[in-house]
Structures are given as C-alpha cells and as structure tokens.
Amino acid sequence: MAWSENYRSRFLDVDLDKGRFRVSRTAFSDPAVFQEEKEKILYRSWLYLGHESEFPNRNDFLVRQVLDAEILVTRDSQLRVNAFYNTCGHRGALLCRERAGNKALLTCPYHAWTYRTDGSLLTRGKVGGYCKEMDDDRAYDLKPVPQLAQRGGFYFVNFSADTPTLDEHLGKAGEWIDTLLEHSAEGLEVISGLQEYQIRANYKLMCENSMDGYHLVPTHGSYLDYQRHMLKGMEVPSLGGHVIALGNGHSGLQSNLAVGRPIAQWMPSWGEPARTLIEQKKEELVGRLGQERGEFIANTNRIFCLFPLTLILDSQSIQVRTMVPIAHDRMISRIWLFGAVNEDPEIRRVRLEGALSFLGPGGFATPDDVEMLEISQRGYAIGGVEWNDISKGFHAGEDTADGELDQHIDNEIQMRTYWVEYDRIMNDGPSHDAQNVRVTEAAL
C-alpha cells in the first residue's frame, strides 16, 4: 500500500503535502473506543499463550490469563496440546486453581466433576439422579478456545473461529520467530519465573514504546552512559540498523548496539570465564550456520511487535512480553525470559543479569519507560489536544502497510504500520491491496 491522497478517519490524519501522519488520542483515552477494539480487534486476533517448554510432559497443565479469560492449557495422555476455558461444565466454577502442575485427572472443587486432560468429562461425582443419556453428545466436556496454533513452539490462541490461520496472520513476521530457533541446536526453554507489573497506561503505548528507537537517547541516557563506561577501550560499532513494516500491523526493529548477548557477544563486566564460553558458543554458531548467518545471530539485536499486543525481544536475552488490557488506561505487563536448553550455568547467569539490568522491573530501562507511558496517559486525560504525531520518516510513497524498510532506526514506520492495521479494522480504513490505493476522507 502506498499513499496517493490525503486520508482522514476517526483515528488517522494523513496529510501528504505536509508530510504529516497523526493518530487520534481517543484511541488511548476513550473507554468506548477500548470496548469497541476489544470486540473488533482483540477477541479476533492471535494472542500469545505460552511456550512448549512450559508443558513438555504428558498431563502437564498451566492456567494463564489472556484478555479477560482464564485459559487452561493441557498436554493430554496422547501428548496433544489443548486450550480450554478454565471453567467447569457443571456450574461454572474455576476447574484449576493452581497455576501449573501435572495431573491425569482434573477435579472441580465444587461438586467433584472430573475431567481428563483431553477435556472429556470422566465422572459427575455422585452420579445418582442423572439420566444416563445426559452426556451422550459430550455437551459437558470442557469447552476449547476456538483456535489454538503454534509457530516454532510458541503457542497462540484466537477467540474467533472465522479469522485467518496463525501463519497467515503472522506472514513475514513468522520468519522473525523462526530466527529465534537458530540460537540453539537443542531448542529454547522458558526460564522459571515471571515478571509481572501493572502500568497506568493504555496497552498500545507499550507497543509503540518498545519499538521506538527515537526515545533511546533522551529517555535512557543513563544506560547509554553506563555502556560507554563498560565498553571503554573496546571497539564499538556505530549504532546502525533498520525498522521495517512486516504486514498485518506487525513490525520489526533491528540494530547492532553493543549491549551484550549471551548467544555470542561478550561484555567485559561478565568476566573472563564467560568470555571463553561466549567464544566457544560463537564458534558453534558459525560452524552450524555459516560465517555470515552466525555473525548475524551473534551480534544483531531485534525487537518485533506482533499486532495487536505481543512483543518479542532478542537482545540481552530472549523475552516475550504480552499485555493484559484491563481498561483504556490500565494494563498488566507480563514477561517471560528464554534461554537455550542445557545452557552452561555461567551463560545462564549472565543472561539473567543482562536481562534484569536493562529490561527488568528495576533495571535501567523499565522504570524510565513506565514513567513515560504513564505521563503520556495523564497528558491525554487533560484533553484539549486531539492528535499524536508519528510522522518521522514519513513520505508520500511509503508502503506503510507492508514491506517498507527504513534505514534510520529512530524513524517511525514501525508505529505507522500498526495504526494503519488498527484503522483498517476499526474504521474501514485503507485496504492492504498491493497496488497504490486512493485514500480520501473517511466517514467521521
């Protein structure tokens, strides 16, 4: 999609003559808009659920909140992965109150209705008084979520049955997930533990901020000063990279900022024992993937946003961040860390230290970012100003929806592609036709 004329809708104001691309603040501040987008976007999108390493064994289960729903994930006796609503088919009580475990049978605490891990009802506690044909049609089995699918061991759910498949939704962004699998020949695993905190801001601000190279210097100056000090005397590459629109609202940011990567980029603060291990890991990467690809995996930091609310970071560690929107101005942020299976304990140590020192709840970045998100939300509540600007790098021929690559990581194509998809769904905005489209004033 390339722009040929100005465009105006409830949410976007695109002026080609002025090189202006603006987003309405009502998308962040209006409770009615939040309810509308839950119906039109969130409950019809693919949302991150969990990773295969969290339920590797027969009869493993875990309970996870996705949007407003508690989802029960099981690996049944046939090793199939299932996702059910965590509610008993009898009177609606939560079936599993534990967050994770391993059980062949799942018994409701209220009336002892008992289910197998494939969701089938085994027994109704005291069976007397029921017609024996009552459950012939399996009406009381656990209800599965309409769609469950995985890419590279990362599982996603969709609460709508009539949407594109996960691979269709991911499109080019699926290749960014595939690249994570190249980190280790033995696979990836979730590191025990979870970072979870509440933020008084709209969830879409987190999607923008996480992809925003523009804010790095003014917001995270203390971290950059620290890095310069730690890297003194070392050859440090100049900051380079790019941002790209990946289609369907997804986007990616790629840079060579020297932050230390446990995959194969050593930092002096890690010590000499870690240096030897990192060098060995790099040799393994190059031997397995070839020189060019091995260097890319070792040294390239990547962040990508999967529309509408999943973020995957491949920098100081691999992290999956997802948000639980609980109001137009409030969210819960949840982060899982990943490492290589059978990773050396010393490398696991520096992985955790690196992840926590910058992206942890008390690290260099997160408190700064949370403060920026919350003061932005407070600014929207003041009212009187209608638009946010994300025009940096915008030009009339830009393929905002799909395929545009910008060599300046502090430009904002990665945000604009998100909002074009948002507007398309919410307001019948510009189509994603491969040819130039005529974009005119939409109904307000």
Residues 80-134: tens digit of each pLDDT: 999 999 999 999 999 999 999 999 999 999 999 999 999 999 999 877 888 888 8
Name the helix (H) or strand (E) containing 295. Answer: helix 291-299
Q: What's the rounded Cα separation, in Å, for the pair 91 and 166?
A: 33
Domains 47-151 and 166-427 agree in fold = no
DSSP 75: E
Going by C-alpha positions, the residue among 103, 96, 90 that lies closest to residue 63 is 96
Neighbours of 352 (CB within 10 A): 18
Report the chain's mean pLDDT, rounded to a whole number.
Answer: 89
pLDDT tens column, 304-334: 999 999 999 998 889 999 999 999 999 999 9
- CB neighbour list of residue 442: distance below 8 Å, 6 or more residues apart: 7, 8, 9, 10, 427, 428, 429
DSSP 166: H
Residue 388 has pLDDT above 90, yes or no: yes
Task: Provide the token pair at 399.
Answer: 């393929």
> What distances in angstroms separate CA 400 from CA 51, 81, 271, one per listed residue?
31, 37, 44
Q: What's the rounded Cα separation, in Å, for the pair 211 and 225?
A: 21
- CATH match of 166-427 with 3.90.380.10: yes
Residue 50's pLDDT is: 97
Residue type, 184: S
Q: What's the rounded Cα separation, in Å, for the pair 420 and 99?
A: 37
User: Terminus-to-terminus CA distance in the chain, angstroms?
Assistant: 22
- Positive/negative CA dihedral, 344, 178, 156, 301: positive
Q: What are the helix (H) ranges across 317-410?
A: 345-359, 366-382
Tokens 């119906």, located at residue: 39
Establish whether the linkage from the previous residue to 308 is cis, with ω within 30° of 0.
yes
153 touches 170 (CB < 8 A): no
Query: Domain 47-151, what fold?
Result: Rieske Iron-sulfur Protein (2.102.10)
Q: Which pairing describes strands 12-15 and 121-124: parallel, antiparallel, or unpaired? A: unpaired
Higher per-residue confidence, 19 vs 212? 19
Residue 442's pLDDT is: 41
Q: For 127-145, what is the mean pLDDT?
A: 89
**Percentage of residues in the chain with pLDDT exceeding 90?**
69
Task: Provide the token pair at 169.
Answer: 């939704």
pLDDT tens column, 239-287: 678 899 999 999 999 988 777 788 878 877 788 888 899 999 999 999 9
Residue type, 68: D
Going by C-alpha positions, the residue among 157, 100, 86 that lies closest to residue 310 is 157
Residue 212's pLDDT is: 83
Residue 57 half-sphere exposure toward CB, CA atoms < 13 A: 6
Task: Provide the token pair at 25.
Answer: 């603040």
Read off the pLDDT band of 443 (50, 70, 90).
Answer: very low
Higher per-residue confidence, 226 vs 197? 197
Residue 222's pLDDT is: 66
User: Would you list the domain boundaries of the chain?
Assistant: 47-151, 166-427
Record the pTM: 0.92
Residue 235 has pLDDT above 80, yes or no: no
Residue 429 has pLDDT above 50, yes or no: no
170 touches 179 (CB < 8 A): no
Residue 228's pLDDT is: 61
Give me the numbers of helices (H) and strands (E) for the chain, helices first please.
12, 23
Task: Provide the token pair at 266.
Answer: 């050593």
51 touches 188 (CB < 8 A): yes
Q: Of the given ranges (43-57, 96-110, 364-378), which has the lowest mean pLDDT?
A: 364-378
